[in-house]
Homo-oligomer: A and B are copies of this chain.
Amino acid sequence: MDPVIIAVIAGALCFAFAAFLAMYILRQDQGSERMREISQAIKEGAMAFLRREYQVLAVFVVVIAIILGVVPYLGWWVALSFVFGAVCSGVAGFIGMNMAIRSNARTAAAAEKSLNQGLRVSFRSGAVMGICVVGIGIIGLSVLYFAFHGSVDFLQIIPGFGFGASGVAIFARVGGGIYTNAADTGADIVGKVEQGIPEDDPRNAAVIADLVGDNVGDVAGMGADLFESYVDSIIATMTLATVAVVAGLASTETAWWLPMMIATGGIVASIIGVFCVRVGKKAEMSALLNALRRGTFAASILTAAFAALTIYFLGAGWGILWAVLAGLIAGMVIGESTNYFTSYAFGPTRRVSQASQTGAGTTITSGFANGLMSTLPPIILIVIAILVAHYFAGMYGIAIAGIGMLSTLGITLATDAYGPVADNAGGIVEMSDLPPEIRERTDALDALGNTTAATGKGFAIGAAGLTALALMLSYTQAVGIGFGDISLLDPYVVAGIFLGVLMPAIFCALTLNAVGTTAFTIINEVRRQFREIKGLMEGEARPEYGKCVDICTKAALKQMILPSLLTIVAPVLIGLILGPRALAGFLIGAIAAGFLIAVMMANAGGSWDNAKKWIEAGHFGGKGSDAHKAAVVGDTVGDPFKDTSGPSLNIMIKLMSIIALVMAPVLVSVGGLLG
């Protein structure tokens, strides 16, 4: 029996489990009419954005598919695989967001009963997304496997799937990120800073756009990101099969099965882990956090055990298990280190709060320095994972380490995707004039979500780094670069490294400016509404929420094009002009610098956010003090860092690497113009 059948069964299990969770959620009470009304507005805004985003994406997918189809050495099967990957990514994003927008009001209503009930609804919503992402990923790859694994072009066709997933992901992450940040910044600057009204106040015209943004950015964008990492890491490992054979680790077929099977073990482990997230009826915050951690931890242990079984039954080399463990452990520790640098329970973020006492300038410098310093553990951990994995299982081992890190994605993504749902629930509570203790509960859920989101973000970046590196290695094999061919003494390799390091900088500049431009428009619109709509500030008139939603949608869709296209075009140009060796250097430069900058931005942003929360919790003068005002500036700077530019870099490095892999056959035949 072909063991990939088991992967298909696990995929089917995912859908069944997700359906079970979804039915549970849909059975819950949606709350008062006002709550339904707000939830409906969010739903409409989010769906309108997704619809229009997918229209843009459809054009992009068709154009790229045609290019892939007509280019010699690639062809229509690669194009088909690409379209399939794009559709799978789109479906994963759609399901996740669809669930999130149906869960926000239900979470708010559940929080009226108890904190525990609120966690249950929101976490299950996140779990639907997490489980669906891995389910769709494994089923999609299985379909390709069964359709093509007999073909000689198999290893040329499957990277197309990853390219499709990555292509959709970059637009989703960048577009969603611009949307959510522009709305958030706009709402905060006019609402909190200028008018002095609370967060999510219904008088703020941008408040619905802000809540929509949480869904299109943090849910759909994050889902597309991790779907991409997930399938790309499996693809990278499969395409390195030859290397595994040479190293005597496995036969070609076993080397294909291993990543699928280890991932399958992770899926089962994640489902069991989700079941473990249970607390007593009257649980406190710490019990909730422990429950989430217990679930993730159980899933990790089980994944390791399943991996050992897989290796045993497939008769592969035991070195592979060490590579799995290297990735798994590195991922967990990176997550914890992110938490250390961004949570206000620890020194680094408290020092940012403290720096707020001397004004916004020192807040920024201090948070930025903290973000820079926070890159130390993740880079050291990735380096250790690379060296360990390579020592035990060679280049194939590095790819396997990526699989190890991502195998528990089902549950990790669940703990991450529930945050925005809780955030939305808090907004709905605020806008529905529910009693303050309910808001306190959703705030507690939100705070918990911030902790798990920080861990999840660190994990996403670590996974992206390893996956991209594995793809880069696959690329060198596919393009036939030997060990001595890409030397640091080759000026083209050095030129590639310099240009690669440049990419994340330009990409961030573009996305930061896109957020800035869009936010500027929103700010002016909200200011205009406060000025022109009579009785708005007194609560006698309603703002025109739709206008802000519309501005955000249009602007985000327009602004996402340039950075996304740059990411796609750059590796193609480097490869065709400077040649395949320069492209390898380019990828390494982009991966190393992209990883660094992504960690820095995510953690600086998280740290500013929580430094503000620490002040709001009554330290250094509390809400309304000068320190608080300074901390709000930090938060405004941090939002695009942590929600747009930083996470988009994850996708950028993977996308550029998989494009190199897809175009490898072309480069083999054509070569570079210069190098």
Contacts and interface: CB of A to CB of B under 8 A. Distances in A.
A224 to B, nearest CB: 24
Interface stretch (A80-88, A107-115, A129-137, A359-367): A359-367
Contacts of A515: 365
How many copies make up the complex?
2
Q: Could you tell me the dominant secondary structure of chain A's interface residues?
A: helix
A498 B633 contact: no
A392 to B, nearest CB: 11
A371 B596 CA distance: 17
Given A369-B508, A369-B509, A512-B372, A379 B502 contact: yes
A520 interface: yes
Contact of A495 (B361, B362, B386): B386
Contacts of A380: 499, 502
B501 A379 contact: yes
B484 A487 contact: yes
A383 B585 contact: no
Contacts of A506: 372-373, 375-376
A654 to B, nearest CB: 16
Nearest to A473: B489
Q: Which among A391, A490, A500 has the greatest number of chain B C-beta atoms within 10 A?
A: A490
Contacts of A585: 488
Contacts of A674: 387
A516 interface: yes
Nearest to A594: B501
A476 B589 CA distance: 20
Given A372-B512, A596-B505, A488 B362 contact: no
Contacts of A489: 395, 473, 476, 481, 483, 486
Interface of A: 185, 189, 193, 355, 358-362, 364-366, 368-370, 372-373, 375-376, 379-380, 382-383, 386-387, 390-391, 395, 398, 469, 473, 476, 481, 483-495, 497-502, 505-506, 508-510, 512-513, 515-516, 519-520, 523, 584-585, 588-589, 592-593, 595-596, 600, 632-633, 635-637, 640, 674
8 contacts: A185-B361, A193-B359, A361-B632, A373-B505, A375-B506, A486-B488, A497-B588, A593-B596
Given A185-B362, A483-B487, 5 more contacts: A189-B358, A373-B509, A375-B502, A391-B491, A501-B593
Question: 7 shortest A-B CB distances, which residue pairs?
Answer: A484-B484, A361-B636, A372-B509, A369-B512, A373-B509, A390-B491, A501-B592
